[in-house]
Amino acid sequence: MDEGTCGGGTGGQAAAAGVDGPGPPGLRERPRDADEARALQERSAPLVRHDAIDAGAVSLVAGLDVAYSADDDRLAAAAVVLAAPEWEVVDSATAVSRPRFPYVPGLFAFREAPALLEAVAQLGTRPDVLVCDGFGLAHPRRFGLACHVGVALDRPVLGVGKTPFVGRAEEPGRERGAWSPLVDDGEVVGRCLRTRTGVKPVYVSVGHRVDLASAAALTLRMAPRYRLPEPVRQADRLCRERLAAA
DNA sequence: GCGACAG
DNA sequence: ATCTTGTCGC
Protein backbone atom coordinates (compact mmCIF):
# COMPACT_ATOMS: atom_id res chain seq x y z
CA MET A 1 0.00 0.00 0.00
CA ASP A 2 1.32 3.38 -1.00
CA GLU A 3 1.30 6.50 1.04
CA GLY A 4 -2.01 8.22 1.19
CA THR A 5 -3.18 11.26 3.02
CA CYS A 6 -6.58 11.05 4.55
CA GLY A 7 -8.96 13.68 5.65
CA GLY A 8 -11.85 13.11 7.99
CA GLY A 9 -14.95 15.10 7.59
CA THR A 10 -18.23 16.56 8.42
CA GLY A 11 -19.35 14.26 11.15
CA GLY A 12 -17.11 12.00 13.17
CA GLN A 13 -13.51 12.79 13.92
CA ALA A 14 -13.05 9.34 15.38
CA ALA A 15 -11.82 7.31 12.42
CA ALA A 16 -12.80 3.77 11.56
CA ALA A 17 -16.10 3.71 13.41
CA GLY A 18 -17.90 3.06 10.17
CA VAL A 19 -17.20 0.56 7.45
CA ASP A 20 -14.08 -1.53 7.26
CA GLY A 21 -13.08 -5.12 6.84
CA PRO A 22 -10.47 -7.37 5.28
CA GLY A 23 -12.72 -8.99 2.69
CA PRO A 24 -11.73 -11.84 0.41
CA PRO A 25 -8.17 -12.21 -0.91
CA GLY A 26 -6.82 -10.10 -3.72
CA LEU A 27 -9.24 -7.23 -3.98
CA ARG A 28 -7.15 -4.96 -1.80
CA GLU A 29 -3.89 -5.72 -3.51
CA ARG A 30 -2.42 -4.50 -6.78
CA PRO A 31 -2.34 -7.08 -9.55
CA ARG A 32 1.01 -7.60 -11.31
CA ASP A 33 -0.56 -7.01 -14.68
CA ALA A 34 -3.80 -6.88 -16.63
CA ASP A 35 -4.06 -10.64 -16.97
CA GLU A 36 -3.77 -11.13 -13.25
CA ALA A 37 -6.36 -8.41 -12.71
CA ARG A 38 -8.81 -10.07 -15.09
CA ALA A 39 -8.27 -13.43 -13.45
CA LEU A 40 -9.00 -11.88 -10.07
CA GLN A 41 -12.25 -10.45 -11.38
CA GLU A 42 -13.32 -13.80 -12.81
CA ARG A 43 -12.52 -15.48 -9.52
CA SER A 44 -14.42 -12.84 -7.51
CA ALA A 45 -17.54 -12.55 -9.66
CA PRO A 46 -19.22 -15.62 -8.14
CA LEU A 47 -19.07 -13.93 -4.73
CA VAL A 48 -21.53 -11.20 -5.71
CA ARG A 49 -24.84 -11.51 -3.92
CA HIS A 50 -28.23 -10.12 -4.92
CA ASP A 51 -30.35 -9.27 -1.90
CA ALA A 52 -33.70 -7.52 -1.96
CA ILE A 53 -33.67 -4.46 0.27
CA ASP A 54 -36.42 -1.99 1.07
CA ALA A 55 -35.28 1.14 -0.75
CA GLY A 56 -37.80 3.21 1.17
CA ALA A 57 -36.33 2.11 4.48
CA VAL A 58 -32.73 3.00 3.66
CA SER A 59 -31.63 5.94 5.77
CA LEU A 60 -27.89 6.37 5.31
CA VAL A 61 -26.18 6.18 1.93
CA ALA A 62 -22.54 6.83 1.11
CA GLY A 63 -21.64 8.24 -2.29
CA LEU A 64 -18.18 7.39 -3.70
CA ASP A 65 -16.20 9.15 -6.38
CA VAL A 66 -12.68 9.97 -7.51
CA ALA A 67 -11.12 13.01 -9.20
CA TYR A 68 -7.77 13.25 -10.98
CA SER A 69 -5.36 16.14 -10.88
CA ALA A 70 -4.84 18.00 -14.12
CA ASP A 71 -1.12 18.65 -13.60
CA ASP A 72 0.43 16.07 -11.29
CA ASP A 73 -0.48 12.41 -10.88
CA ARG A 74 -2.52 12.75 -7.75
CA LEU A 75 -5.96 11.31 -7.33
CA ALA A 76 -8.51 12.13 -4.64
CA ALA A 77 -11.24 9.79 -3.47
CA ALA A 78 -14.25 10.89 -1.46
CA ALA A 79 -16.91 9.08 0.53
CA VAL A 80 -19.85 11.23 1.59
CA VAL A 81 -22.67 9.97 3.78
CA LEU A 82 -26.14 11.45 3.29
CA ALA A 83 -29.32 10.90 5.29
CA ALA A 84 -32.77 10.22 3.86
CA PRO A 85 -35.23 11.63 3.12
CA GLU A 86 -33.68 15.02 2.52
CA TRP A 87 -30.24 13.67 1.75
CA GLU A 88 -28.31 16.12 3.83
CA VAL A 89 -24.62 15.40 4.32
CA VAL A 90 -23.92 13.88 7.73
CA ASP A 91 -20.37 12.61 7.33
CA SER A 92 -17.53 12.50 4.83
CA ALA A 93 -13.91 11.49 4.34
CA THR A 94 -11.27 11.74 1.63
CA ALA A 95 -8.04 10.02 0.67
CA VAL A 96 -5.37 11.38 -1.66
CA SER A 97 -2.89 9.07 -3.37
CA ARG A 98 -1.45 8.05 -6.74
CA PRO A 99 -3.06 5.67 -9.22
CA ARG A 100 -1.81 2.15 -8.54
CA PHE A 101 -2.86 0.79 -11.87
CA PRO A 102 -3.14 2.21 -15.41
CA TYR A 103 -6.51 3.03 -16.86
CA VAL A 104 -7.78 0.08 -18.81
CA PRO A 105 -11.50 -0.18 -19.62
CA GLY A 106 -12.75 -3.11 -17.59
CA LEU A 107 -9.98 -2.84 -15.00
CA PHE A 108 -11.13 0.45 -13.69
CA ALA A 109 -11.54 -0.75 -10.12
CA PHE A 110 -7.84 -1.49 -9.68
CA ARG A 111 -7.22 2.18 -10.22
CA GLU A 112 -9.90 3.71 -8.03
CA ALA A 113 -10.92 1.13 -5.44
CA PRO A 114 -7.82 1.37 -3.22
CA ALA A 115 -8.32 5.08 -2.58
CA LEU A 116 -12.08 4.70 -2.28
CA LEU A 117 -11.71 1.94 0.31
CA GLU A 118 -9.26 4.12 2.18
CA ALA A 119 -11.77 6.97 2.28
CA VAL A 120 -14.60 4.67 3.34
CA ALA A 121 -12.48 3.32 6.18
CA GLN A 122 -12.13 6.87 7.50
CA LEU A 123 -15.87 7.35 7.91
CA GLY A 124 -17.19 7.69 11.40
CA THR A 125 -20.60 6.54 10.18
CA ARG A 126 -21.77 3.18 8.90
CA PRO A 127 -23.96 3.70 5.82
CA ASP A 128 -26.72 1.20 4.96
CA VAL A 129 -25.77 1.26 1.29
CA LEU A 130 -22.91 2.68 -0.80
CA VAL A 131 -23.22 4.07 -4.32
CA CYS A 132 -20.38 4.07 -6.82
CA ASP A 133 -19.94 6.28 -9.85
CA GLY A 134 -19.55 3.47 -12.33
CA PHE A 135 -20.79 -0.07 -12.90
CA GLY A 136 -21.26 -3.27 -11.01
CA LEU A 137 -22.46 -6.32 -12.95
CA ALA A 138 -22.72 -4.32 -16.16
CA HIS A 139 -19.13 -5.25 -16.88
CA PRO A 140 -17.36 -7.61 -19.32
CA ARG A 141 -16.62 -10.10 -16.53
CA ARG A 142 -19.58 -9.08 -14.37
CA PHE A 143 -17.31 -7.52 -11.79
CA GLY A 144 -17.11 -3.77 -12.15
CA LEU A 145 -16.09 -1.19 -9.56
CA ALA A 146 -19.30 -1.46 -7.52
CA CYS A 147 -18.83 -5.23 -7.20
CA HIS A 148 -15.17 -4.80 -6.35
CA VAL A 149 -15.94 -2.32 -3.57
CA GLY A 150 -18.99 -4.25 -2.39
CA VAL A 151 -17.25 -7.60 -2.10
CA ALA A 152 -14.15 -6.04 -0.54
CA LEU A 153 -16.29 -4.42 2.16
CA ASP A 154 -18.96 -7.11 2.18
CA ARG A 155 -21.53 -4.32 2.23
CA PRO A 156 -24.50 -3.38 0.00
CA VAL A 157 -23.22 -1.43 -2.99
CA LEU A 158 -24.76 -0.38 -6.29
CA GLY A 159 -23.29 1.35 -9.31
CA VAL A 160 -24.66 4.25 -11.29
CA GLY A 161 -22.96 4.96 -14.61
CA LYS A 162 -23.43 7.96 -16.87
CA THR A 163 -22.54 6.38 -20.19
CA PRO A 164 -23.09 2.80 -21.42
CA PHE A 165 -20.19 0.40 -21.18
CA VAL A 166 -21.42 -3.09 -21.97
CA GLY A 167 -24.81 -4.21 -23.20
CA ARG A 168 -27.53 -2.30 -24.88
CA ALA A 169 -30.88 -0.94 -23.78
CA GLU A 170 -33.84 0.49 -25.58
CA GLU A 171 -34.58 4.12 -25.07
CA PRO A 172 -36.75 4.32 -21.95
CA GLY A 173 -39.90 6.47 -21.84
CA ARG A 174 -39.38 10.18 -21.50
CA GLU A 175 -40.75 10.51 -17.98
CA ARG A 176 -38.83 10.24 -14.74
CA GLY A 177 -38.97 6.67 -13.50
CA ALA A 178 -39.15 5.10 -16.97
CA TRP A 179 -36.61 2.34 -17.56
CA SER A 180 -35.52 -0.48 -19.82
CA PRO A 181 -33.34 -3.51 -19.16
CA LEU A 182 -29.65 -3.27 -20.01
CA VAL A 183 -28.86 -6.52 -21.77
CA ASP A 184 -25.45 -7.92 -22.57
CA ASP A 185 -24.93 -11.27 -24.23
CA GLY A 186 -28.54 -12.22 -23.56
CA GLU A 187 -28.24 -11.38 -19.90
CA VAL A 188 -29.85 -8.52 -17.96
CA VAL A 189 -26.87 -6.81 -16.36
CA GLY A 190 -28.46 -3.55 -15.32
CA ARG A 191 -31.16 -1.03 -15.92
CA CYS A 192 -31.27 2.09 -18.04
CA LEU A 193 -33.19 4.48 -15.81
CA ARG A 194 -34.60 7.93 -16.41
CA THR A 195 -34.17 9.90 -13.20
CA ARG A 196 -35.40 13.19 -14.68
CA THR A 197 -38.08 13.74 -17.28
CA GLY A 198 -36.58 14.61 -20.64
CA VAL A 199 -33.00 14.12 -19.46
CA LYS A 200 -30.49 11.49 -20.56
CA PRO A 201 -30.92 8.29 -18.47
CA VAL A 202 -28.37 6.71 -16.14
CA TYR A 203 -27.29 3.06 -15.96
CA VAL A 204 -27.87 1.23 -12.70
CA SER A 205 -26.31 -2.10 -11.86
CA VAL A 206 -25.86 -4.38 -8.89
CA GLY A 207 -22.64 -4.13 -6.94
CA HIS A 208 -23.17 -6.50 -4.03
CA ARG A 209 -25.84 -7.45 -1.48
CA VAL A 210 -28.57 -5.60 -3.31
CA ASP A 211 -30.72 -6.71 -6.23
CA LEU A 212 -31.41 -4.77 -9.41
CA ALA A 213 -34.99 -3.74 -8.59
CA SER A 214 -33.93 -2.44 -5.17
CA ALA A 215 -30.92 -0.66 -6.66
CA ALA A 216 -33.09 1.09 -9.25
CA ALA A 217 -35.76 2.05 -6.71
CA LEU A 218 -33.14 3.49 -4.40
CA THR A 219 -31.41 5.33 -7.23
CA LEU A 220 -34.69 7.00 -8.11
CA ARG A 221 -35.27 7.96 -4.51
CA MET A 222 -31.75 9.38 -4.22
CA ALA A 223 -32.23 11.53 -7.31
CA PRO A 224 -35.31 13.66 -6.58
CA ARG A 225 -33.95 16.66 -8.40
CA TYR A 226 -30.89 15.98 -10.50
CA ARG A 227 -29.94 13.29 -12.96
CA LEU A 228 -27.33 11.74 -10.70
CA PRO A 229 -28.08 10.44 -7.22
CA GLU A 230 -27.36 13.01 -4.54
CA PRO A 231 -24.66 10.93 -2.79
CA VAL A 232 -22.68 10.68 -6.02
CA ARG A 233 -23.04 14.39 -6.68
CA GLN A 234 -21.76 15.22 -3.24
CA ALA A 235 -18.84 12.81 -3.51
CA ASP A 236 -17.97 14.29 -6.90
CA ARG A 237 -17.98 17.76 -5.40
CA LEU A 238 -15.87 16.79 -2.41
CA CYS A 239 -13.09 14.92 -4.21
CA ARG A 240 -12.59 17.83 -6.59
CA GLU A 241 -12.50 20.24 -3.71
CA ARG A 242 -9.98 18.04 -1.90
CA LEU A 243 -7.76 18.08 -4.97
CA ALA A 244 -7.95 21.84 -5.26
CA ALA A 245 -6.76 22.19 -1.69
CA ALA A 246 -3.06 21.58 -1.03
C1' DG B 1 -8.28 -7.92 -38.26
C1' DC B 2 -10.68 -3.45 -36.66
C1' DG B 3 -13.04 -0.37 -33.74
C1' DA B 4 -14.98 0.55 -29.15
C1' DC B 5 -14.09 0.94 -24.52
C1' DA B 6 -16.99 2.85 -16.99
C1' DG B 7 -13.77 7.11 -14.93
C1' DA C 1 -10.90 11.70 -15.72
C1' DT C 2 -9.07 16.46 -17.74
C1' DC C 3 -8.73 20.83 -21.08
C1' DT C 4 -13.39 24.80 -21.20
C1' DT C 5 -18.07 30.05 -21.95
C1' DG C 6 -21.85 31.06 -23.03
C1' DT C 7 -26.30 29.81 -24.13
C1' DC C 8 -30.96 27.85 -25.06
C1' DG C 9 -34.91 26.08 -22.54
C1' DC C 10 -38.07 24.73 -18.65
Nucleotide nearest A70, from its CA to each C1': C2
Question: What's the order of all strands across the beta sheet hosting A75-83?
Answer: A5-7, A88-97, A75-83, A60-68, A129-133, A157-161, A202-208, A187-193, A179-184
Q: Would you place residue A5 in the very low, low, confident or very high pLDDT band (cuts 50, 70, 90)? A: low
User: What Å value separates CA A48 and C1' C10?
Assistant: 42
Q: Would you place residue A1 in the very low, low, confident or very high pLDDT band (cuts 50, 70, 90)? A: very low
Q: Would you place residue A2 in the very low, low, confident or very high pLDDT band (cuts 50, 70, 90)? A: very low
Say yes or no to pLDDT of A112 above 60: yes
Domain boundaries, chain A: 29-244
Query: Which CATH entry fits the domain spanning A29-244: 3.30.2170.10, 3.90.1170.30, 2.60.40.770, 3.40.50.410?
Result: 3.30.2170.10
User: What Å value separates CA A33 and C1' B3?
Assistant: 24
Q: What percentage of residues in chain A have a pLDDT greater than 90?
A: 85
Say yes or no to pLDDT of A191 above 50: yes
Residue A156, phi then psi, degrees to nearest 5: -65, 125
A71 is in an annotated binding site: no
Q: Is the CB of A68 under 7 A from strand C?
A: yes
What is the rounded average pLDDT of the residues A77-102? 96
Considering only residues 201-240 of chain A, list those whose CB is below 7 Å from strand C.
Answer: 240
